[in-house]
């Protein structure tokens, strides 16, 4: 009598096989990316100037970012993590290539080994981690690695390394809301948390939850009445929305967030709000302005910032307000005008200048497609 085959089990086997193939493809990608970066490093050695040599080798990450459609910083991290595992954990790298662990787990392991200082701990990690990583979730692996590092890395050195990473960042969400996150020492975080709760509980009973009060206390504690806040919130908003005729949202210069129309109108009503008017021709094309000298005026620079939004390298999202104003045609041959200016972050500006290259994916605002701005 034949045993009936469970179709579900066959489907699960195919899923397991596909999962291993996916991991193998990720490993092949990592290997090829490392090979390309190494090739560019060898090519760069032909330059006598160490600055040019470094820039050309480093530009490999930007070239890769264009083909994998990821930010340069992400590519740099992927290269560093792969290089670390390939160089320090040969068994783990072999398992990655065989599809036993995927890229996510490989990167978690790479982060852990970076905190180990002695060869014995590194060898021990390489010996044990593959078996655990291949049979547990990424979250379980992360906890296992945390325990391993705690047992084997000098606590003072690990703590010092993490302390150097302290930072604050924003993650914009929908409907005019943003996560305000901080990576700070645990004692400071606990004290801040306790103080926020104390101050929130001292607020009057007005229908707000405790969490809402804590959020309001945090914002008001930093901004006060807003009179001393100097940050510029650059938003493109239709005049019809500003006038209350419709509810089209305001979009940030860099396209990273949108503000609902009522929120934009509230901001517009605040004392000290400054408006720039952008002039266009009857077809809606923004008019050009040309200035003398190499450096644009504040108004022209603001115009370019509004137009570009971000660095004009294809995979870069650094806000234009933090970028240099680059002359597409170098000054003085090229004019200081909206048509000839574009936003490039310092990294991509240096690459363009010192390597004398014009990356094919760099957005260029040509005169016949003029989007330059003229602000009153």
Rounded distance between C-alpha atoms, residue 223 and residue 203, angstroms: 17
Digit-coded pLDDT (tens) for 279-322? 544 544 544 555 556 778 777 888 788 888 889 888 888 888 88
pTM of the model: 0.68
174: tokens are: 């929908």
State the helix-helix crossing angle for 60-68 and 72-88, rounded to 10 degrees.
110
Give the residues across from 326 on adjacent strands.
342
Digit-coded pLDDT (tens) for 320-363? 888 998 888 887 787 887 778 889 999 998 888 777 666 444 54
On whether the CB atoms of residues 374 and 288 are closer than 8 A, the answer is yes
Listed in sequence order, the residues at least 6 apart from 179 whose beta carbon sits closer than 8 Å to its beta carbon are 170, 171, 173
Q: What is the Cα Rg of the chain in Å?
A: 27
At residue 208, the 3 state secondary structure works out as coil
């Amino acid at each position: 009598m034949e045993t009936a085959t469970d179709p579900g089990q066959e489907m699960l086997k195919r899923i397991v096989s596909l999962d291993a193939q996916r991991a193998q493809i990720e490993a092949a990608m990592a290997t090829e990316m490392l090979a390309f970066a190494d090739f560019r490093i060898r090519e760069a050695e032909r330059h006598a100037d160490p600055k040019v040599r470094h820039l050309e080798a480093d530009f490999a990450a930007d070239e890769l970012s264009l083909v994998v459609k990821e930010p340069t910083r992400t590519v740099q991290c992927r290269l560093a993590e792969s290089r670390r595992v390939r160089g320090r954990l040969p068994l783990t790298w072999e398992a990655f290539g065989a599809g036993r662990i995927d890229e996510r787990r490989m990167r978690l392991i790479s982060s852990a080994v970076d905190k180990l200082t002695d060869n014995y701990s590194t060898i021990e990690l390489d010996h044990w981690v593959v078996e655990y990583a291949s049979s547990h979730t990424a979250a379980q692996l992360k906890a296992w690695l945390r325990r391993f590092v705690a047992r084997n890395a000098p606590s003072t050195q690990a703590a010092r390394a993490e302390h150097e990473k302290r930072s604050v960042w924003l993650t914009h969400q929908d409907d005019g809301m943003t996560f305000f996150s901080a990576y700070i020492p645990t004692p400071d975080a606990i004290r801040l948390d306790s103080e926020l709760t104390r101050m929130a509980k001292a607020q009057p009973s007005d229908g707000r939850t405790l969490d809402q009060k804590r959020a309001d206390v945090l914002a008001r504690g930093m901004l006060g009445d807003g009179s001393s806040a100097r940050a510029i919130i650059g938003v493109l908003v239709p005049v019809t929305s500003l006038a209350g005729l419709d509810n089209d949202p305001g979009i940030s210069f860099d396209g990273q967030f949108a503000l609902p129309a009522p929120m934009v109108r509230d901001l517009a009503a605040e004392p000290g709000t400054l408006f720039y008017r952008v002039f266009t021709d009857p077809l809606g094309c923004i008019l050009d302005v040309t200035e003398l000298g190499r450096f644009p005026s504040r108004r022209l620079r603001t115009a370019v910032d509004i137009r570009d939004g971000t660095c004009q390298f294809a995979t870069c999202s650094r806000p234009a307000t933090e970028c240099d104003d680059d002359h597409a045609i170098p000054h003085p041959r090229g004019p200081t005008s909206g048509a000839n200016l574009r936003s490039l972050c310092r990294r991509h500006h240096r690459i363009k200048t010192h390597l004398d290259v014009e990356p094919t994916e760099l957005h260029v605002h040509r005169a016949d497609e003029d989007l330059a701005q003229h602000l009153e």
